[in-house]
A and B are shown apart, each in its own frame.
Chain A
Amino acid sequence: MTTIVDLPAAAQDATRQPARRRRRVRSTWPIVAVLLGPSAILISLFIVLPAVYGLWLSLTNTQLTGFAARDPKFVGLDNYVYLLTSSDFLASLGQTGTFLLFSAIIGQTVLGMVAAILLSRPWVRGKGVFGAAILMPMVVPEVVASLAWASVLATSPEGTLNRLTSLFGAEPTSWLQTVPMVAIILVNVWRGLAFAMIMFQAALEDVPVELIEAARVDGASATQVFRHVTLPLIRGPVFLYLLLTTISTVGVFGLVYFLTRGGPGGQTRLAAIYIYERALQFSQIGIGSAASIILLVIVLVLGVVYVRLAKVKV
């Protein structure tokens, strides 16, 4: 025997809701498909598919030239074993790490923060000029920036830096030969400073003034206010910036390639330059792809670490 029990109105409403939601979903899916479809197709075509193809290539001995180009073969993990035991590749990873640490994580972040703090001070005069000067490197195209620095660091006595040092009686120096890594780190700091400053400036503006004033009333020094009030409140944007600058710095190619071509003696052969040389100059697409995948994994791991540290949703 079946007993029919009238449900309370709220319960009836609850049972009706999924059905209504299903109907709403059914009625909206075409517009959702049309709106998301193009981006889904583009992402699949230009990001997912090439990534999967790159992964496949990394497992083959594909070359672009020579008889080997006619018949690429599946070689399993051989390319990875080759790279992870190659002193050249490991050296390029080391150089990338040095470049990343000093130019992006320390240089851009610290100087960007200093610039942002200075610009947020009410007593600072000429903010417009200062801000514009810092922003300029970001708006200059990469090739133009490289050309400008090639001129600044030129070996000849006419090089801008050599002209400056000659004022103190110094002989002309081949900066890109004697201190190549320092030179490219400085150039990258110069170029990335503006983005850091903009991000930190926006973050600092969101810090409630009352909190800072309260800390000051309690006797905190400027350093203590920054360390214990400001910094914890802008931790999210700081780690987000670190994530973004890590990704972009690991991928830096044109700026360094134009200045040093990875030299002298491979001292500035960053991973991106190593990959370019292998894949495109020497036509070893299989090895180049494997090196790219290794770099991708390293960046992913760093990204996860940053996100965990920041506890921010990306």
Chain B
Amino acid sequence: MKRTHALAAFSAALVVAGVSGCTAAGGDDGTDGPVTISIMETKQTNIDAINKVIPGFEAEMAKQGKDIKVDLIADQLTDEQFKTKMTQQLVAGQAPDVLDIGENMAIAWSAAGYLTPLDEYLEKWDGWSHYYPAVKEAITRQDGHVYNLPSGAGVQNFFFRKDVLEEVGVETSQPETWDELIDRLVQVKEATGDTPIVIPAGTAWGGGTWNEGFQPLLGGTDTEYYDRDSATWNLQSPGWLAVFELYDELVSKGLMPVEDLQNPNPWEPTKYVKFPAGDIQVAAQGTWGWRFDWGPEGATPIEGLDEKVSTWQYPALAAGDQPYGWSSTGGGYAIPEKSEKKEAAMEFIKYLSSGKPLAEQLTASGAASARDDLDDVAPYSEEPHLLQAGKDLADSVYVVTGDGADQIAQAVSTATEKILSGEADGRQAYESFVKDATDLLGPSLVKQ
């Protein structure tokens, strides 16, 4: 009996010691004394860029009498993996103090209440007045608050292999309509035997199918697919069917690399192998292609990039449309609602979003500035492609959406997968999309 009681007491002591140990492990609250904030980056270029600016930030804070340290969590993940992982951490209150997120994540997480509204901080910050009005509009969520500050902006266009097209005698001027572009793609296919164009599609590409593939095509021909006033998705808007039929035409004519698109990590064989090799000649791609994907320090550098590659705007899909670029400005830095170091985190975000630190990040990732006062700041000022993209932002098309973007992305990827696998034509894919999207969104998010 005595031994039993001793064992029980020992177990209880262990539990108490564990609990008190956990309590004692708590730390600073972000207001007094030294503060360590954490930021997570998932792309090597961003990891390098943030690593580079951290010492400057810490020194700057020290000058202001604040002892703030930054812990960079470098974890190379795809956007889908990051979203899945971070959603769990946000729910559990374990997320880093500063997040670098995409637009769909910003929409989904702000609606769920996981992110801190930044309005009060931004009103007190003079840098906020330098953001383009269109950018401010794009990042204002449907509850009227701003939850993320753009780390950069981009314009999505078609990057094409000028050298290959010239070699096979195909016209390289801006195609005005999709019919014109498809004629050229058919010529390239006949000359090379390749599948000449890659546009994100299917489930393997994850959220990119919607963000970088379908939405830029849809937004150029139809801006009514999301109704901001009622915060609902208009699934009957005519652009949906037109874009599904375009995908179908590209697939049925053998112009898209269907097998590659159905593989895990479809961007690897397409954008990182075949486009650099000249075996895919046209790719839907954002400004970051100049640096992040194919730049000298990018994922797969293309030697002589400026001579070999050029860009077209998206051609017109329907009668009356004009060629256009699609801007993407919706993501950026955010602070979790459960962070206990919001003040310090905001200081870091402001530092990252100003002057030279911002110029260095934009240059590293190949993004345009969302601010009007950066064109003269090196090294950004030395990047003609990025400066041009910044100018193009003003004329680019963008449709602000809201809650449900994730579900739409899911339904679009499933429906385009059916086109890739030959299971559905354009209309059938559209019908399947409407059914899935209606199921996933629920009645409150679908325009009646």
Residue pair B112, A66 in contact (C-beta under 8 Å): yes
Total chain A interface residues with beta-carbon distance under 8 A: 32
Query: At the interface, is chain B mostly helix, strand, loop or mixed?
Result: helix
Tell me whether B423 is interfacial, beta carbon within 8 Å: yes
Tell me whether A265 is interfacial, beta carbon within 8 Å: yes
Residue pair A70, B417 in contact (C-beta under 8 Å): no
Residue pair B11, A263 in contact (C-beta under 8 Å): no
Tell me whether A60 is interfacial, beta carbon within 8 Å: no
Residue pair B404, A66 in contact (C-beta under 8 Å): yes
Residue pair A65, B108 in contact (C-beta under 8 Å): yes
In the complex, chain B residues whose CB is within 8 Å of the CB of A264: 259, 262-263, 417, 420-421
Per-position 1/0 for A65-82, Cβ under 8 A of B:
111111000000000001
Given contacts A64-B91, A65-B111, A155-B259, contact A259 B264 (CB under 8 A): yes
Tell me whether A174 is interfacial, beta carbon within 8 Å: yes
Residue pair B112, A177 in contact (C-beta under 8 Å): no
In the complex, chain B residues whose CB is within 8 Å of the CB of A163: none
In the complex, chain A residues whose CB is within 8 Å of the CB of B87: 64-65, 280, 283
Tell me whether B418 is interfacial, beta carbon within 8 Å: yes
**B113 contacts which of A30, A69, A155, A280 (Cβ < 8 Å)?**
A69
Residue pair B264, A260 in contact (C-beta under 8 Å): yes
Tell me whether B80 is interfacial, beta carbon within 8 Å: yes
**A30 contacts which of B8, B269, B407 (Cβ < 8 Å)?**
B8
Give complex CA distance A295, B317 in Å: 45
Residue pair A263, B262 in contact (C-beta under 8 Å): yes
Given contacts A34-B7, A264-B262, contact A282 B420 (CB under 8 A): no
- In the complex, number of A-B residue pairs with CB atoms less than 8 Å apart: 92
Residue pair A282, B264 in contact (C-beta under 8 Å): no
Given contacts A265-B262, A265-B418, A265-B423, contact A282 B440 (CB under 8 A): yes
B265, closest chain A residue (CB): A261
Given contacts A65-B109, A66-B111, A177-B262, contact A263 B442 (CB under 8 A): no
Give complex CA distance A284, B84 in Å: 12
**B203 contacts which of A38, A174, A263 (Cβ < 8 Å)?**
A263
A48-74, CB < 8 A from B? 63-70
Tell me whether B425 is interfacial, beta carbon within 8 Å: no
Residue pair A282, B263 in contact (C-beta under 8 Å): no
In the complex, chain A residues whose CB is within 8 Å of the CB of B11: 34, 38
A263, closest chain B residue (CB): B262
In the complex, chain B residues whose CB is within 8 Å of the CB of A283: 87, 108, 406
Residue pair A30, B5 in contact (C-beta under 8 Å): yes
Give complex CA distance A168, B350 in Å: 63
Tell me whether A176 is interfacial, beta carbon within 8 Å: yes
Given contacts A66-B404, A282-B410, contact A266 B417 (CB under 8 A): yes
In the complex, chain B residues whose CB is within 8 Å of the CB of A265: 262, 417-418, 420-421, 423
Distance in angstroms from B406 CB to nearest chain A CB is 6
Distance in angstroms from B397 CB to nearest chain A CB is 25
Give complex CA distance A283, B403 in Å: 13
In the complex, chain B residues whose CB is within 8 Å of the CB of A66: 108, 111-112, 403-404, 406-407
A258, closest chain B residue (CB): B264
**A34 contacts which of B4, B264, B418 (Cβ < 8 Å)?**
B4
Residue pair A176, B406 in contact (C-beta under 8 Å): no
Residue pair B418, A68 in contact (C-beta under 8 Å): no
B83, closest chain A residue (CB): A281
Give complex CA distance A276, B264 in Å: 16
Give complex CA distance A176, B440 in Å: 29
Tell me whether A192 is interfacial, beta carbon within 8 Å: no
Give complex CA distance A176, B266 in Å: 13
B81-127, CB < 8 A from A? 83-84, 87-88, 91, 108-109, 111-113
In the complex, chain B residues whose CB is within 8 Å of the CB of A137: none
Give complex CA distance A224, B269 in Å: 55
Residue pair B112, A30 in contact (C-beta under 8 Å): no
Distance in angstroms from B104 CB to nearest chain A CB is 9
Per-position 1/0 for B321-347, Cβ under 8 A of A:
000000000000000000000000000
B418, closest chain A residue (CB): A265
A283, closest chain B residue (CB): B87
In the complex, chain A residues whose CB is within 8 Å of the CB of B404: 66
Give complex CA distance A263, B88 in Å: 25
In the complex, chain B residues whose CB is within 8 Å of the CB of A177: 259, 262-263
Residue pair A30, B406 in contact (C-beta under 8 Å): no
Per-position 1/0 for B1-12, Cβ under 8 A of A:
100110110010
Residue pair A64, B112 in contact (C-beta under 8 Å): yes
In the complex, chain B residues whose CB is within 8 Å of the CB of A260: 264
Tell me whether A262 is interfacial, beta carbon within 8 Å: yes
In the complex, chain A residues whose CB is within 8 Å of the CB of B373: none
Tell me whether B256 is interfacial, beta carbon within 8 Å: no
Residue pair B407, A282 in contact (C-beta under 8 Å): yes
**B406 contacts which of A82, A258, A266, A282 (Cβ < 8 Å)?**
A282
In the complex, chain B residues whose CB is within 8 Å of the CB of A263: 202-204, 262-264, 417
Given contacts A155-B263, A265-B417, contact A65 B203 (CB under 8 A): no
Tell me whether A129 is interfacial, beta carbon within 8 Å: no
A27, closest chain B residue (CB): B1
Complex A-B: 6 CB contacts under 8 Å: A30-B1, A64-B87, A176-B263, A263-B262, A280-B84, A280-B87
Chain A residues in the interface with B (C-beta under 8 A)? 27, 30-31, 34, 38, 63-70, 82, 155, 174, 176-177, 258-266, 280-284
Nearest first, the 6 A-B pairs at minimum CB distance are A265-B421, A264-B262, A65-B108, A69-B112, A30-B4, A67-B111
